[in-house]
Chains A and B, each alone.
Chain A
Amino acid sequence: MADFGGFPQILSLFYATFHPTEGTKVLYQVPPGSVVKSTDPSAFNTPLFDFESINSYIIPKPQLCNKLLTLRVNNYRIVSHPVHIWGSSYARNSFLFNFCFVFHKDADISAYNPVVRKLSKMFQALEEQNKFLSSAQMSEGLKSIVDQVYEDLNNYCECFIPIDEANSINIKLFPLHHPPPRIKAFHVPISTVQLKAVMDVNWDPTMEKIVEFIDGINSVRKIAELADTDYKLTRKCIQHLMYYGCVIVVDIFQFSNSYACTADISTLANDRHVGEECQSYVASPGANKRNVCDLLELYCSLHNGQTVKEWYIANREHLRGIDIRRFISFGIIKGIIYRVNVFPVLEDINVAATDPLDKRLLRLTKNIKHFDDICTDTQTSRVQSLQSLEKYGEVVLIRA
């Protein structure tokens, strides 16, 4: 599958209409011969697929018009948005046309869906305005438009084609990302780009305020506090930044945390690039890069039931020239270690509190939340919340 800039290639682009006497007809196709036989010397010898067998899906019944249709034919997928226009001026009181994009069957066509829709809506408008499509059998202008859309989208992922004074085709392909996950108060965003550098005046005011506090240390809640912004808006901003890949999210780093390695620890050993990245990322300013084996051994020495503080004390000798925080966050980001969270569990759940803060605390505990969650929610320290909890019975700590 040929990709360009992450977008699949358009294998063919064709324009079909319903002819009052001849039925469904392909009026124009690029490249020539890709859909129906063509006399063009550069045409394909055989079309990509048998158009006759699918023409009822290209110009479908009116129920399916003005909807985005995709159809798989052999190894190809045809994406189209047929348009049906009623009008007494037409031969059968209606005009049916469709601009169809052909892709490889495995192509991820999500980015094209809005484009196909937009293009056909635009042609619909042009047709309704001045019979742009139906006035001539196939105007040269239209041919060149189709050609250019095909070429430009494949080569530049965007196209701008002026049609007349009032209209122009203005299309750009945007990648469709997965929706960002839900951000929690205890998540710590780490920026992957210089946010300040990409920011401009049009940015959201909340975003402007919070950007300077995104430093890989502050949690979302803390950022909202520091920037004096609404927490929910802050969270949404972070979510937007995540959607565009400008930030990644880790947990709160504290020396009382525990970490342990995951099965992905082997990437550090196997993937030289990860190793090199790690070497330069975790080195303290001015310190020499450490050997990957040392780093691997250090990561392997992290385990459950041991705080970072204890670990540091045990490995102080080996940790020279290593920024602990960066060491841990690198491991978290790469997924080679994970945070061992501590979940306080009250043995007796039938306790009730009167104090609103305690009430909240109990509610969180009953729902089995970890300390990060509890502390950012109640905005108390871990020790405090543990003490408050102990008022209500024995607290069991589960580390997972």
Chain B
Amino acid sequence: MSGREPSGLGGLTTHLLGIMLVITTPNGPQFVFNYPQTANAPVSRQGKGRSVASAPSNHLAGNISQKRRDREISPFPYSTPASPALEPMPSASSRLYRYDSPDTSPPSSGYSSSSSFSTSSDSDDANLSYASSGESGMTDDSVDDDGDIDNILDLELDNLDPLDSHQVGSSTLPRVGTLGLSQSLALGPRSDIVPGLGASPNNQARHGHRQSRRRRKQVAGGGLLHSSRSRSHTPSGHSSNARRTNLSNSPVPGDFPGHLPAFTSELPRSLASSGHSQHRGGSPPADSVLSPRLAPLTTIESSTIAKNIMPDDITSTLRTSNVPISVGSGSNARDAIPRRMTLDNTHSNHSHSHKRHHHHNRRRKSTTDNVIQNPNGDEDDAGNVDRNMHPSSELEQQSWENIFGYDVDFLAALLCPRRSMCDTKFEFTVGDLAFLGLPMHERADGKWKRGPEDRVLKMRRKPGGSASASVAMKSITSDSEFRYDDDGDEADEEYFDDDMEVDGSTTALERSLLSFTLESSQAPSHDIMKENGSSHEQAITGMTVDEGGSNRASNINNMLHAFQNRSPTSVTAAKDSNNEVSNEQANITDNFPSDDQCGPSSSVEAPAVAGSRTPSVMPSPLLDASPRPLRKQSAPGDEKSPMNMFHVVFAMNPPELEYNVRIDEMYDYVAAPLAECLRYEQHKSNYVWKQAQLMIRLREHAVMSGTSQEELFAQTLTKSSLALALAQVFLAISTSSIAKVVINGITRSFQIPIQMHSATLPSILEPITIPGFYLTTEDYSVRLGLEDGQQNGMPFLEHALLLLDEADKIINELQTDPRSPMARFIRSVSPTESLLKVAANSELSLSDAETYARHLIYWRRARVIIPVHRRGIYIVAPTAPLSRLRTHSKLFAKAFPSLPSLPRMLEEISSHEPRPYGTLIPSHHLRERYLDALAWLLRLGYLAQLRTFIWLRISKAVKKSVAYDDRLRNVLENSRAESDDDDDSHDIVLSNTTSNSRPQGDNATLSLSQLLAEDNQLEDTIILEPDRANVLERKWMDKIVAGQNESIVELFWKVAKYMNGKVAFEDVPAKEGIERRDLRTLLAIVKEHIIISRHW
């Protein structure tokens, strides 16, 4: 059908195009946030319905394919970007292999209509090239280059009072950076602000800004296609758009536009606040069609602009309260102003509560930094005005407002369904573009808790399935577990309880883990980080000096990764959004150290770099502790948000034939859990509303100040933890990896589970594209007890764990203290030893070992295997990644210099009849190396273990013999007494000897010829379920071991139940506690009666 994208990516894509957040307030639907930024770009130009869906997907596909190409370097399916050597995404690689998603690009239109032979199948690689253009999307160098970077003032985007606007005569249009904005969050109407507060951020920002400038210049060469101001996306192609995706993810230092105007008029602070308070509490005028539309800058020129100068600030820090009003025409103005007021209402509430504390901190850290601000602000203002009047800002507006080719207002209205459609799955498809989500509506009583009326609306979840269960698996690193599973409303209710402490629901083990991680983060090397405000923004510091911009593509990875590796300290510090707000402010001066050392190591070092650059910003360690009492003051329930619904919308373009599957998995594993989690946070601390408010402000502010879209994106991601979380979810989910995000201070993880193994060999037509894919009949998800979320016993302790990466790297990535039991466990895990042994060696309890093992499996860092042993028989798997043999050969040679080359090894293994691996090992002292190599090969999916499966074959002779015995007995019994007893067994014979049908008759009366005929009809059969053998089958089985000595007979009956072709006999000795040798003896004795098959 139309619009099916030729997916060279096959099953690796999740067909996720973007994530949006929309909310409704009494003023109507509002569009809050979308990610990725470029989702809108090409569409507004192309306009056609069909391309709406396919165009963004193409450039996304480009991105992903780039990652995939990167990944080609990696020998390990799960290697993460943490290692500089191995760039690729953690597990972009690891997508469930879907047999139903053809890898090849079919002639899509040709096949849907009968027999046109017009199409070609040779275009498979068509969409792999999008991301590779050298053109840079970084175009807006003008924003900074002509400005004076010293003109950084703290601007305050705060309450806009209509009154203000009349008083502002000037038409200057300040360019307002994010600095001012986030500061405004903490600056309430009260004015006890000390001079110099804004200084240190500026100082630091200037640093960032210089960096950014330098970088921009380097970049600019690539961006010539675009006019300096135009944010319009040229129709020239996807390449630039693909670039933009990358860009949007990189925290561009341009967060600091660095143009701050001089204030032009003053307004007593009290005026603003009184005007403000008028509206507080009162419900705002119900303007039904209020839009979040961002007024084109050109119209603003004629509009009024409000600036509040706080009297206290005049001495040195010039705080310009600069609130844009979207006033295009008279009627618009009327709409816009009340809306602003409602936005500001709750905002000022909580900013109040934090102000004092916040300033306290800032004062402490920045007393030395009373930098002279804005020496030539006037000139700068003029420049700004000019730029803002530039007509190209119209273009900018246009691209702002189009997402997937639709106006944002329109989309917001579309995606905010009526109440009756809330709290249930929302799924709306336009052409090929599907919008999916779980809109959350507040309850009639204004609370967000899951109400009794909602209980019936249980999440639709697939029963069973290994996949579903893993969602319920606990993430050990999170300090509080959001449980999204069906284990009863009681638990839910309890969980969502207001007063629950953060780790109230964690198990003792988890708490101990948490304490380990906390401990580790309190280690000296982490101190700086902790001090430094310790909010998420810290992590951003890990990645910004991106010299030359050539690494920008990797910034997605870096960013994602850096945040994944965020220290738990930040988690605790940013407990709720109130706190976060202050953190955001404290962190206003995000610093940007280098990104070449991303990952865990950088999370330690990065702050140090930052610190050396801007030592004055280092806040005291007390910062973390002090906000807490304040938080208590602004109790969650106190403030009533005007938001009555929020909706995180996932935009997807699933292929028509996979539509239901793709939509359902996205909903079940990501959309619904995420929405539930947000509802909880909203309920707990008004989180979603605060974040939404923040994002809306940032955007409006950016429009007013003419900030570029890229900058706004970077700003939003920096300032809003929710925006960042959504972006991370998008990046992770669209690359099939695990999204680990911090939402309101609590770590959550989301993933669409992938299955890296299969029992069924894919058809020869569908080449395996998933690195590390392996074949096995063992479904460990069942053994792991994931089915019901219960840990039923110790289901896999006799098995070993195969780490999918180096132990130390995993320890790093999981943010585990190298001295913790978890780390000890990871180090002592060996593919040759069962978990029982590992637990014993590392002095862990079995249940702890199991928990750690589950954790590693959940995070795709390990898989369960049968302990490798030289006795094991391995073959080169038909799914072996031979296409990457060359790359792997080099790595193998490096890792195992004393061994033959990789091709030689594989030849050795495969050229004979399958035989124990030990036969390959030339000498005893090389055994260890060979076993290591074996684990290496298993990890990459080169080898599959052949295991032995056995059926009991009942031969004609056995049956005849049993039948003879029966008849003999019958005759004897009949002669004794006429009895019907035997009819039972007779019936069984009838119903169970397959393909045997003989007329019902009395045994005793059967003639000899009948008996002979019956005997001839007997056939060899297989006993399919020996554990449920009926009387006759048991007789047959008895006959098989008749005449053997007692121990053999006993052993036979012990293991006979496994002779069903389903259980690997390699496992049986461990299961039954018998000797391998005895089992071999038995099998040799009964070998006439068994069929042995060897497969994986």
CA distance A84 to B335 in the complex (A): 30
The reply to whether B885 and A368 contact each other, CB–CB distance below 8 Å, is: yes
Knowing A53-B421, A347-B901, A398-B903, the reply to whether A263 touches B1095 (Cβ < 8 A) is yes
Interface SS of chain A: mixed
Is B375 in the interface zone, CB < 8 Å from A?
no
The reply to whether B108 and A179 contact each other, CB–CB distance below 8 Å, is: yes
Q: Which residues of A contact B414 (CB under 8 A)?
A: 60, 64
- The residue from A71, A110, A368, A399 contacting B656, defined by CB atoms under 8 A apart: A110
CA distance A57 to B415 in the complex (A): 10
- The residue from B424, B430, B876, B904 contacting A64, defined by CB atoms under 8 A apart: B430
- The residue from B763, B906, B1094 contacting A398, defined by CB atoms under 8 A apart: B906
CA distance A183 to B102 in the complex (A): 12
Is B376 in the interface zone, CB < 8 Å from A?
no
CA distance A206 to B421 in the complex (A): 55
Chain B binder among A87-95, A123-131, A214-222, A234-242: A234-242
Chain A: which residue is nearest B775 at the CB level? A263
The reply to whether B949 and A266 contact each other, CB–CB distance below 8 Å, is: yes
**Least Cβ distance of B1065 to chain A in Å?**
14
Chain A: which residue is nearest B7 at the CB level? A179
Chain A: which residue is nearest B943 at the CB level? A400
0/1 interface trace, chain A 230-267, chain B, CB 8 Å (1 if under):
00010111011001000001110000000011111110
Chain B binder among A29-37, A156-164, A292-300, A380-388: A292-300
Chain B: which residue is nearest A179 at the CB level? B106
**Least Cβ distance of A396 to chain B in Å?**
4
Is B657 in the interface zone, CB < 8 Å from A?
yes
Chain A: which residue is nearest B422 at the CB level? A53
Q: Which residues of B contact A366 (CB under 8 A)?
A: 886
- The residue from A176, A305, A396 contacting B903, defined by CB atoms under 8 A apart: A396
Is A270 in the interface zone, CB < 8 Å from B?
yes
Is B112 in the interface zone, CB < 8 Å from A?
yes
Chain B binder among A15-23, A39-47, A146-154, A337-345: A337-345
**Least Cβ distance of B826 to chain A in Å?**
31
Q: Which residues of A contact B876 (CB under 8 A)?
A: 304, 398-400
Chain A binder among B643-651, B728-736, B1004-1012, B1020-1028: B1020-1028
**Least Cβ distance of B72 to chain A in Å?**
14
CA distance A110 to B912 in the complex (A): 49
The reply to whether A399 and B910 contact each other, CB–CB distance below 8 Å, is: yes
CA distance A117 to B256 in the complex (A): 50
Q: Which residues of A contact B431 (CB under 8 A)?
A: 67-68
The reply to whether B914 and A303 contact each other, CB–CB distance below 8 Å, is: yes
Q: Which residues of B contact A138 (CB under 8 A)?
A: none
Q: Which residues of A contact B951 (CB under 8 A)?
A: 269, 296
Q: Which residues of B contact A135 (CB under 8 A)?
A: none
- The residue from A260, A297, A396 contacting B904, defined by CB atoms under 8 A apart: A396
Chain A: which residue is nearest B1020 at the CB level? A293
Chain A contact residue count (CB 8 A cutoff): 87
The reply to whether B1020 and A291 contact each other, CB–CB distance below 8 Å, is: yes
- The residue from A114, A264, A304 contacting B1, defined by CB atoms under 8 A apart: A114
Is B1096 in the interface zone, CB < 8 Å from A?
yes
The reply to whether B1095 and A262 contact each other, CB–CB distance below 8 Å, is: yes
CA distance A396 to B427 in the complex (A): 54
Is B953 in the interface zone, CB < 8 Å from A?
yes
**Least Cβ distance of A193 to chain B in Å?**
15
The reply to whether B117 and A236 contact each other, CB–CB distance below 8 Å, is: yes
Q: Which residues of B contact A286 (CB under 8 A)?
A: none
The reply to whether A300 and B903 contact each other, CB–CB distance below 8 Å, is: no
CA distance A178 to B763 in the complex (A): 15
Is B1082 in the interface zone, CB < 8 Å from A?
no
The reply to whether A204 and B115 contact each other, CB–CB distance below 8 Å, is: yes
The reply to whether B656 and A113 contact each other, CB–CB distance below 8 Å, is: yes
Knowing A263-B1096, A266-B1061, the reply to whether A53 touches B106 (Cβ < 8 A) is no
Instruction: For chain B, residues 108 to 129, give those with C-beta under 8 angstroms from any C-beta of chain A.
Output: 108, 111-112, 115, 117, 119-121, 124
Q: Which residues of B contact A236 (CB under 8 A)?
A: 117, 119-121
Is B984 in the interface zone, CB < 8 Å from A?
no
The reply to whether A269 and B1022 contact each other, CB–CB distance below 8 Å, is: yes
CA distance A340 to B912 in the complex (A): 12
The reply to whether A368 and B910 contact each other, CB–CB distance below 8 Å, is: no
- The residue from A262, A269, A367, A400 contacting B1024, defined by CB atoms under 8 A apart: A269
The reply to whether A70 and B428 contact each other, CB–CB distance below 8 Å, is: yes
The reply to whether A304 and B1093 contact each other, CB–CB distance below 8 Å, is: no
Q: Which residues of B contact A72 (CB under 8 A)?
A: 425-428
The reply to whether B1095 and A265 contact each other, CB–CB distance below 8 Å, is: yes
**Least Cβ distance of A399 to chain B in Å?**
4
CA distance A50 to B657 in the complex (A): 28
Is B907 in the interface zone, CB < 8 Å from A?
yes
CA distance A57 to B426 in the complex (A): 12
CA distance A177 to B882 in the complex (A): 30
Q: Which residues of B contact A292 (CB under 8 A)?
A: 1022
Chain B: which residue is nearest A294 at the CB level? B1020
Is B877 in the interface zone, CB < 8 Å from A?
yes
The reply to whether B877 and A400 contact each other, CB–CB distance below 8 Å, is: yes
**Least Cβ distance of A371 to chain B in Å?**
13
Is A376 in the interface zone, CB < 8 Å from B?
no
- The residue from A77, A108, A110, A305 contacting B913, defined by CB atoms under 8 A apart: A305
The reply to whether A182 and B428 contact each other, CB–CB distance below 8 Å, is: no
The reply to whether B106 and A180 contact each other, CB–CB distance below 8 Å, is: yes
Knowing A69-B429, A236-B121, A304-B914, the reply to whether A396 touches B761 (Cβ < 8 A) is no
0/1 interface trace, chain A 67-104, chain B, CB 8 Å (1 if under):
11111111001000000000000000000000000000
Instruction: For chain B, residues 394 to 438, give those with C-beta under 8 angstroms from any C-beta of chain A.
Output: 406-407, 410, 414, 417-421, 424-431
The reply to whether B913 and A304 contact each other, CB–CB distance below 8 Å, is: yes
**Least Cβ distance of A251 to chain B in Å?**
6
**Least Cβ distance of A161 to chain B in Å?**
22
Is B508 in the interface zone, CB < 8 Å from A?
no
0/1 interface trace, chain B 765-798, chain A, CB 8 Å (1 if under):
1100000000101000000000000000000000
CA distance A50 to B1019 in the complex (A): 62
Is A397 in the interface zone, CB < 8 Å from B?
yes
CA distance A63 to B47 in the complex (A): 11
0/1 interface trace, chain A 197-231, chain B, CB 8 Å (1 if under):
00000111010000000000000000000000000
The reply to whether A179 and B107 contact each other, CB–CB distance below 8 Å, is: yes
Instruction: For chain A, residues 318 to 353, give those with C-beta under 8 angstroms from any C-beta of chain B.
Output: 335, 338-341, 343, 345, 347, 349
Q: Which residues of B contact A263 (CB under 8 A)?
A: 759-761, 775, 777, 1095-1096
Chain A: which residue is nearest B421 at the CB level? A53
The reply to whether B882 and A181 contact each other, CB–CB distance below 8 Å, is: no
**Least Cβ distance of B179 to chain A in Å?**
38
Q: Which residues of A contact B284 (CB under 8 A)?
A: none
Chain B: which residue is nearest A79 at the CB level? B429
CA distance A10 to B697 in the complex (A): 47
A77-B427, A270-B1061, A304-B875 given. 15 additional CB < 8 A pairs?
A: A53-B417, A67-B431, A72-B427, A110-B656, A114-B112, A181-B763, A182-B124, A237-B117, A243-B106, A260-B1095, A269-B951, A338-B761, A397-B911, A400-B876, A400-B880
Per CB-CB distance, the 4 closest pairs between chain A and chain B, nearest first, are: A179-B106, A181-B765, A182-B104, A72-B427
**Chain B interfacial positions (CB closer than 8 Å to A):** 1, 4, 49, 100, 102-108, 111-112, 115, 117, 119-121, 124, 406-407, 410, 414, 417-421, 424-431, 656-657, 659-660, 759-761, 763-766, 775, 777, 875-878, 880, 882-883, 885-886, 901, 903-904, 906-907, 910-914, 949, 951, 953, 994, 1019-1022, 1024, 1061-1062, 1091-1096
Can you list 20 pairs linking A and B with CB atoms under 8 Å apart? A54-B418, A69-B429, A69-B430, A72-B426, A72-B428, A179-B105, A180-B111, A182-B103, A182-B104, A187-B764, A233-B117, A235-B121, A240-B111, A293-B1021, A304-B875, A305-B913, A335-B760, A367-B883, A368-B882, A368-B883
**Chain A interfacial positions (CB closer than 8 Å to B):** 50, 53-54, 56-57, 60-61, 63-64, 66-74, 77, 106, 108, 110, 113-114, 174, 176-183, 187, 202-204, 206, 233, 235-237, 239-240, 243, 249-251, 260-266, 269-270, 272, 291-294, 296-297, 299-300, 303-306, 335, 338-341, 343, 345, 347, 349, 366-368, 396-400
